[in-house]
A and B are shown apart, each in its own frame.
Chain A
Amino acid sequence: MLRAPLSELCGGRSHDVAGSTVQEVLVELERTYPPIAGWVLDEQSRIREHVNVFVNGTHGEEGTPVAPGDRVQVLPAITGG
């Protein structure tokens, strides 16, 4: 699940993407939708510092396992004071 502006780069909020970890899912998302390359992952395929990824509502990292049917959400980090 993606929010704007990421959803606009990928042509929608929801996509079926293969991968067994958060990093693999996001790399596959970049392969499928090249305009999003570099927006969520940096050059070293690390999740950008101010981006949060959740797997089924739980905060995830690059190596967090993802199973078929899991829901991966990408959100900008909270920046309020």
Chain B
Amino acid sequence: MTELLVGTKKGLFRLEGDPADGFEITARAFAGQAVEYAMRDPRTGRYLASVTSWFYGPRIWVTDDPTGEWEQAEGTRLPGEKDRVEGEPAGTSQGDGEALNRLWVIVPGEENGVLYAGGDPGPLFESRDGGLTWSLNDGLWSHPTRPEWNPGNGGLCLHTIAPWPGDPSKLLVAISAVGVWLTDDGGETWRHSNTGIVPRYLPEEARDTAVINHCVHDVRRAPARPERLFMQFHDGVYRSDDAGESWIDIGTDTGLPSDFGFPIVVDPADPDSAYVIPLVGAEDRTPPDGAMRVWETRDAGASWAPRGDGLPTEAYLTILREAFDNAGEGASMELYFGATSGEVFGSGDAGATWKQVGDHLAPVYSVRTA
């Protein structure tokens, strides 16, 4: 039995089942509110969800039982007016005047109890108590380049957090439209790392000098070879073989119908594997010719092949950044993705065949397996 946590425009849905026999909704929470992301910490079994109230803003909620009550986590706030020096007049901010807009992602760290969360306008938060309280990573938030950071269409979003298996001092994060950031000292200091990525949306003469104008859409690390990562860029697909220090183009002339898309997934058992969902460019954001296909590489991006038996062939859907995930590995790896149409599709054979496993939900923002 697989558990799917589906974040939608109208709340969180838990689906349980398997690709062969189907899924059913077994819990719904946060009705009417945007659930950007939800995950279950595999170490504790605790569920965490980032929820944005139209009225009351974004925050993280936690529970041990998604059919029961959720507890509000504390600390996902930016420096603000209340951080002013005592005695200073009200309204004089010690922060930079910004407010948290969304929380895009929650990821378990390598140390017990540690989780990370990323959001808009670019903060990285850390929890050391399993998600109940959070604090802002000041090294990244106060980076000297921060005034130069520009948002993408989805905001200035820190959406990717990739720990290094077994080493809590190393972390990779990615921000749209800034790029990749690396730390080797547990988040004290950060350096950008966009070497090799070509932002073709910039004028040709500006591409070589652009250092932090990179609209990264998603990055996944290959667990079996941690120095290898795969990236879906705004207009390109890339691979790194040196822990994100540099990036190699694997989207040009490799068979992909489009190098635009949002999520990317890897097979934990095979560091040469990756899965993308190509969409037609930034202006359309639907599958090429309406044919819903997941594309797979098994040779580290040298070639790609479509996997879509069972997926619709006249579908004008958008698959968002966090709406694609896997469970298991190898030939029986399960893959799931959700669409803005409210449908969720699943495969139990690494993408060879697909079934619709969820329907008539609200627009899907995220899908995570648990």
Cα-based distance from A35 to B90 in the complex (angstroms):
21
Are B55 and A42 within 8 A (Cβ)? no
DSSP majority for the A interface? Answer: loop
Cα-based distance from A76 to B55 in the complex (angstroms):
6
Select the stretch in A10-18, A45-53, A64-72 that faces chain B: A45-53
Shortest distance from the beta carbon of B135 to any chain A beta carbon, whole Å = 14
Q: How many residues of A contact B (CB 8 A)?
A: 23
In the assembled complex, which residues on chain A have CB atoms less than 8 Å from the CB atom of B97? 44
- 0/1 per residue, A3-39, Cβ < 8 Å to B? 0011000000000000000011001000000110111
User: Of A24, A34, A46, A51, which is within 8 A of B55 by CB?
Assistant: A51
Are A48 and B90 within 8 A (Cβ)? no
Are A44 and B90 within 8 A (Cβ)? no
In the assembled complex, which residues on chain B have CB atoms less than 8 Å from the CB atom of A48? 55-57
Are A39 and B56 within 8 A (Cβ)? yes
Given A27-B82, A35-B72 in contact, is the A42-B57 Cβ separation under 8 Å?
A: yes
Are A43 and B99 within 8 A (Cβ)? yes
Shortest distance from the beta carbon of B46 to any chain A beta carbon, whole Å = 19
Q: Which of A27, A43, A45, A76 has the most CB of B within 10 A?
A: A43
Which of chain A's residues has its CB closest to B79's CB? A43
> 5 tightest CB-CB pairs across the interface, nearest first?
A43-B80, A42-B99, A45-B81, A76-B55, A39-B56
In the assembled complex, which residues on chain B have CB atoms less than 8 Å from the CB atom of A23? 90-91
A79 at interface (Cβ–Cβ under 8 A)?
A: yes
Are B57 and A38 within 8 A (Cβ)? yes
B111 at interface (Cβ–Cβ under 8 A)?
A: no
Shortest distance from the beta carbon of A11 to any chain B beta carbon, whole Å = 14
B269 at interface (Cβ–Cβ under 8 A)?
A: no
In the assembled complex, which residues on chain A have CB atoms less than 8 Å from the CB atom of B80? 42-45
B95 at interface (Cβ–Cβ under 8 A)?
A: yes
- 0/1 per residue, B57-99, Cβ < 8 Å to A? 1010000000000001010011111100000001101010111
User: Of B53, B55, B56, B90, which is within 8 A of A45 by CB?
Assistant: B90
9 residue pairs of the A-B complex, CB under 8 angstroms, read A34-B74, A42-B100, A43-B77, A43-B98, A44-B80, A44-B95, A46-B99, A76-B55, A76-B56
